Chain A
Amino acid sequence: MSVDTKIAFDQDYIKSFSERRQEPKWMESLRLKALEKSENLPMPKPDKTKIDKWNFTSFKHDVPADAISSLDDLPKDVRELVAKDQQSGNLLVHRNSTPVFHQLSEELKEQGVIFIDIQTALQEHGDLVEKYFMKDVMKVDENRLTAVHAALLNGGTFLYVPRNVEVDVPVQALYWQEDPEAGLFNHVIIVAEDNSSVTYVENYLSYGNDVESVANIIAEVHVGQNARVTFGSVDNFAKGVTTYVNRRANVARDGKVDWALAQMNDGNTVSTNTTHLIGDGSNADSKTVTIGRGDQKQNFTNQIIHHGKNSEGMLLVHGVQKDSASAIFNGVTKIEHGAAKSNGEQTQRVLMMNEKARGDANPILLIDEDDVMAGHAASVGKVDPIQLYYLQSRGISRHEAERLIIHGFLAPVINELPIEGVRKRAVEVTEGKVN
């Protein structure tokens, strides 16, 4: 495994990559600046997880992929990710980071909704993308990996919902890494203008456990006044993939974001989910389920930062750790001075199935305002041997008993995920991990 965190791409490579993709000039120079910065920026420092031996440099960057003419061309497991009600709806499929299939209903097009891969968005809506790209929500120079992300961006989605438009069917993006070595530098931008609403669902999928690769993902969500975004994700990268993912939202007055995250990677993962409740009366609800297995190491930071008055944030995380997997769960509720009458609640629960499994839940409450409500609950525990005995005493095998207990432990969160497709898929992936 490589310990060198310097990537093997130079200015010329980036320049010609950007040119080939016919990007606007601002994007090319943003990439070049990002590359330059990446050389001096420090690596991210996830609390209590050492990542200095993780692979961030071994991957293929520009992997060709053939377009598909219909969904029937997709392999069965990928096709099954397309929610049933999506077949004639709004779908974007990426294959090795290249967009290969796209569908958006006429109705939504007429209403001015943009739902397109980021490459096309840069070509056709360059000014609009520039307005939102790593400006207010994320910054290029947060650390080396955010800069590398900007320099090497090779996939992603741009979703724009104009004022007063309510999109009542989910839009779905599928990121299918067919080539296990293909690196994914995926950038998602969601803009929900005032009084609009939209549900976005993304699925990440890759194969191959022995080959190393990298996924470096950023999602930036702009929730306008009184707008509502429901963001669902099922991450399912294979064992060989190191994942660094940031999903972040800024929410304006009376806006709301709901996160439904099934974080089911098999490889080492650092994941941060952040909501800034900027406007008064803004609201965030973040739900995460995860299962760690094998010798996987993961670090999850889920945070809600209250700036506006009367803002409300709920964090709910349930994680299962099997085998000798280990994970850190940081739950951060931050209430800034001036965010009076805000309410921040968080619950993190971790279940360890095995002596060697490790889980650590850290509730972090940072409150700079007196007139608020805040609460937290965190529990980390081993599977109860008496519970296993009870189930086994009815003839249920140890394996099946563990399966029931894991499903049961995650059920209270999975059942509450606000998107049916994500719920179903989360149960399926759970099944795959416990069998």
Chain B
Amino acid sequence: MAASTLKIENLHVSIEGKEILKGLNLEINGGEIHAVMGPNGTGKSTLASAIMGHPKYEITEGSVFLDNEDVLEMEVDERAKAGLFLAMQYPSEVSGVTNADFLRSAINARREEGDEISLMKFIKKLDKKMAELDMGEEFAQRYLNEGFSGGEKKRNEILQLMMLEPKIAVLDEIDSGLDIDALKVVSKGVNAMRSDDFGCLIITHYQRLLNYITPDKVHVMMQGRIVKSGGAELAQRLESEGYDWIKQELGIKDETVGQEA
């Protein structure tokens, strides 16, 4: 498997007629970890949802390519099969469908008919990944996210990431609501995925997570655009000084979407 590239160019996204992303550019290569940071309401989840194909978000301009494939032309499931993954900020609950059945369907969806993963192999892999994430065995048979605590849902997203082994993953606020131990476990999971074939975009508004997962590049988002990019040291500066210096530098009064610079 060769390293993949996700290339986002001049992306404009609206929701219910309101423009949220206003020309966003970003390129993520296999082997790289990018962090997108920014205060609440600056369009981070909108970026993640647009990449994955959330039905409520409308792309009005721009392009998203995974290698040579036009992501915006694909159905949601095709995007996943092409190698994209999104750990969602608010994962859905699906009653009556066990975590194990769901994961097996997801794995088999990527395989040819007749070449389904054997039950033994599946269980072995699931047990291993659940152990790595300190998840109790009972999670395999619990209904998908139903009644899970916030932290359990986040872990479950990372479990799916590890089971499905995408080429490019977007992790949307995978750290929110996690205590420090859970944060370490989740970070360990993500770090275990690190390889030349795996690219990752971590969305967060705390620098905390980046103490455990060192990013190659850090981007700051405001008003639906990336307004500043740098290396890991940028995250550190944000941690100690907050966002105000960037706003001052760029003459931004209100960083949320809907306000103009």
Task: Mark A residues whose CB is within 8 Å of B.
Answer: 384-387, 389-398, 400-401, 404-405, 407-412
Tell whether B76 is near chain A: CB-to-CB under 8 Å. yes
**Chain B residue contacts of A405, Cβ below 8 A:** 94, 97
Chain B nearest Cβ from A309, distance in angstroms:
36
Tell whether B212 is near chain A: CB-to-CB under 8 Å. no
**Chain B residue contacts of A384, Cβ below 8 A:** 92
A394-B160 contact given A404-B97, A411-B96, CB 8 Å threshold: yes
Tell whether B114 is near chain A: CB-to-CB under 8 Å. no
A386 and B101 CA atoms in complex are apart in Å by 19
Check A389–B96 contact: CB distance below 8 A: no
Tell whether B259 is near chain A: CB-to-CB under 8 Å. no
Tell whether B102 is near chain A: CB-to-CB under 8 Å. yes
Tell whether B211 is near chain A: CB-to-CB under 8 Å. no
A395 and B94 CA atoms in complex are apart in Å by 16
Q: Which of B55, B91, B109 contacts A396 (CB 8 A)?
A: B109
Lowest 7 A-B CB distances belong to which pairs? A408-B96, A411-B96, A395-B80, A390-B92, A392-B76, A394-B106, A408-B97
Chain A nearest Cβ from B88, distance in angstroms:
7
Considering the complex, give the chain A residue whose CB is closest to the CB of B143. Answer: A408
Check B160–A412 contact: CB distance below 8 A: no
**Chain B residue contacts of A390, Cβ below 8 A:** 88, 91-92, 94
Q: Which of B88-120 contact A (CB under 8 A)?
A: 88, 91-97, 101-102, 105-106, 109-110
By secondary structure, the A interface counts as helix
Chain A nearest Cβ from B175, distance in angstroms:
20
Chain B interfacial residues counted at CB < 8 A: 29
How would residues 69 to 85 of chain B score, 1 for a CB under 8 Å from any chain A CB and 0 otherwise? 00000011101110001
Considering the complex, give the chain A residue whose CB is closest to the CB of B160. Answer: A394
A to B CB contacts below 8 Å, 28 in the list: A384-B92, A386-B92, A389-B52, A389-B55, A390-B88, A390-B91, A392-B75, A392-B76, A392-B77, A394-B80, A395-B80, A395-B81, A395-B106, A395-B164, A396-B80, A396-B102, A397-B77, A397-B109, A398-B75, A398-B77, A404-B94, A404-B97, A404-B102, A407-B96, A408-B95, A408-B143, A411-B96, A412-B96
How would residues 16 to 34 of chain B score, 1 for a CB under 8 Å from any chain A CB and 0 otherwise? 0000000000000000000
Tell whether B188 is near chain A: CB-to-CB under 8 Å. no
Q: Which of A387, A395, A409, A412 contacts B77 (CB 8 A)?
A: A395
A405 and B94 CA atoms in complex are apart in Å by 7
Q: Which of B113-165 contact A (CB under 8 A)?
A: 143, 160, 164
**Chain A residue contacts of B109, Cβ below 8 A:** 394-397, 400
A389-B94 contact given A395-B81, A395-B109, A404-B102, CB 8 Å threshold: no
Chain B nearest Cβ from A394, distance in angstroms:
4
Tell whether B86 is near chain A: CB-to-CB under 8 Å. yes
**Chain A residue contacts of B91, Cβ below 8 A:** 390
